[in-house]
Amino acid sequence: MSALRLQALRLRLLEPVDLSIEAGELVFLAGPSGAGKSLLLRAIADLDPSTGEAWCGETARSSVPAHVWRRRVGLLPAESGWWADSVGAHFPQAAAAETDRTALLERVGFGPEVLDWEVRRLSTGERQRLALARLLANRPEVLLLDEASANLDPDNRTRVEAVIADYRADEAAAVLWVSHDPEQRARMNGRRLLIRDGRITPELPATDAAEPHP
């Protein structure tokens, strides 16, 4: 699949961002509340204005319509929007074979009956897991995850971590994941970045990260 490259991306609060995430690479982004983590994800997804350039593989953001870009560079917001009454309306059969759809829902912890549920009866954590399934059903090449497991109990957090790890491995997706959970960032095998005072730096001192194995 595709790498994500940010070239002098300029948005409010942050110094110009240059960042490359290889195809299949996981990068965690942490930092204090209000530092601009969500703003950065929204700017990359072309939901907020920014200048500079972003690349998904060989495709420049500026060269394609926003809806095409957003399909390839998929954002899971901290609070996802729901615009239909039933869950099923958010998972059109045309977008995926029936078995794919059922398998995807099962992987985030639901039986096929969830398609008949009303969106308004979903708990926060159920919405979060279904929003992830909805995003993955579109097969984005890059995942931008804003607190993908923030509202989940430990079992469902583990489930969501496994779904994301498998998707990354199977699709060689580049993943940029905002997470406030230090244990999660340590548990999963990824590069860790910190955003603070408008700058993005490695979360660990370079000596910790770069020690060669004996």
Residues 79-138, interacting with ligand ATP (CB under 6 A): none
Q: What angle do CA 2, 151, 33 make, to 5 degrees?
A: 75
In this chain, which stretch among 26-34, 87-95, 118-126, 127-135 interacts with ligand ATP, using CB under 6 A?
A: 26-34
Strand partners, 201: 194
Contact call for residue 39 and ligand ATP (CB under 6 A): yes
Contact flag: residue 35 with ligand ATP (CB under 6 A): yes
Question: Could you tell me which stretch among 32-40, 80-88, 159-167, 200-208 binds ligand ATP (CB under 6 A)?
Answer: 32-40
Segment interacting with ligand ATP (CB under 6 A) among 20-28, 37-45, 113-121, 123-131? 37-45
- Minimum distance from CB of 40 to ligand ATP (Å)? 7
Beta-carbon contacts of 75 under 8 Å, excluding residues fewer than 6 positions away, are: 41, 42, 44, 45, 47, 135, 144, 146
Kindly tell me the sign of the dihedral angle through the C-alpha atoms of 92, 96, 99, 105.
negative
Please say whether the dihedral angle defined by the alpha carbons of residues 177, 107, 92 and 100, taken in this order, is positive or negative: positive
- Residues near ligand ATP (CB under 6 A): 13, 31, 33-39
